[in-house]
Amino acid sequence: MGVYKIKDVEVLVGIKAHTLRIWEQRYGMLVPERTETKIRLYTDEELVYLLNIRILMDHGMKISHIAALTPTEIRTRVHEIKLATPLGATQEKLILALVEMDECLFHTTLGEIIENSSLEHAFHECLIPFFDRIGVMWLTNSINPAQEHFISNLIRQKIVAAIDRLPVPEKNAPVVMLYLPEHEWHEIGILFYQYLLRSKSYFTIYLGQSLPYESLLIALDKVNPDILLTSWLTSVEEHYVKSYFKQLRTARPHLTILAGGAQIGIHQDVVSPFATLVQSSEVLLELLKQPRSQFSRELQ
């Protein structure tokens, strides 16, 4: 069971801590437990309750009217809405899907956004902010690995399904090979890059998670790609990052190496002499438009 401080709830629900205190005093809507130092602590059930309130407010209901409802009536009203409109309360719905492990709610929320716009839009406008909220939940120990794996696999399924619907592009230059290094299992970011490049008709070869270094070299010899793209999220020591990219640059001095992810950003000073940093999908697409000679100049 998760335990949330009021600042955590503020981030996850999108309601100011000051407002939560007013609701507590004015309406008696929530009376969270407190520590000996008077710090408010909210449970999973109270978080879900506040998320439901936020959804009702986003659909035009005033807080004074919501305060007169019982928790059961609030859940019924939310059910009546059927969570059919993805705009406005998207983040609250995704958090609800995570906390309650509700696959139907997740598919309804994200699926309609993708259908009405695109996976690219959904990733940037919905999933990246959602990942930020999940990060808060990790920091507060209010999410367990089962919940994180549940939602991550649902997102992965969406991206893989979208990739599968795209045609395999004609093999052209540049050929982009994508992979995660041997210690890395966080696949969603690199999968999204695979989708993005395929959707822009780049010829890509995707090698997946935790690829041993020697196997990478074999694949490079066999395919001879123009560009190698990797992502690092799992925490690693700086000397390991530097050694890895230095060794890869020495083994393939003419290969264009692109690297993204949180660990690349943290260790960019030791990575940048050997690889070009990718900070976002927009940066990636701009880099791919450049002639290969431009990469060479950046790496000198």
Token couple for 86: 């993805």
Query: Per-residue pLDDT tens for 40-62?
Result: 888 878 888 888 888 788 778 89
Q: Assign 106 a pLDDT band (cuts: 50, 70, 90).
A: confident
pLDDT at 72: 85
Which 8-state DSSP code applies to residue 15?
Answer: -
- Say which CATH class 168-299 falls into: alpha beta
pTM: 0.69
What SS3 state is found at 92?
A: helix
Residue 130 reports pLDDT greater than 90: no
Domain ranges of the chain: 3-163, 168-299
Do residues 258 and 230 lie in contact, with contact meaning Cβ atoms separated by under 8 Å? Answer: yes
What digits encode the pLDDT tens for the residues 25-36? 898 888 888 888
What CATH fold (topology level) applies to the domain 3-163?
Multidrug-efflux Transporter Regulator; Chain: A; Domain 2 (1.10.1660)
End-to-end Cα distance, the chain: 52
Strands 40-43, 33-34: pairing kind: antiparallel
User: What are the φ/ψ torsions at residue 257 (nearest 5 degrees)?
Assistant: -110, 125
pLDDT tens per residue across span 204-217: 999 999 999 999 99
pLDDT at site 83: 47
Q: Comparing C-alpha atoms, which of 174, 229, 172, 239 is closest to residue 206? A: 229
Token pair of 145, please?
């690995």
> Quick one: pLDDT band at residue 87, thresholds 50, 70, 90?
very low
DSSP letter at 125 equals I
Largest CA-CA distance found in the chain, in angstroms, rounded: 69
Output the pLDDT for position 173: 67
Could you tell me the two tokens for 113?
A: 């956004």
* Per-residue burial over 4-40, b = 16 or more CB atoms within 10 Å of its CB, e = otherwise: bbbebbbbbbbbeeeebeebeeeeebbebeeeeeeeb
Contact assessment for residue 202 and residue 288, using Cβ atoms and an 8 Å cutoff: yes
Give the pLDDT confidence score for residue 235 in this predicted structure. Answer: 82
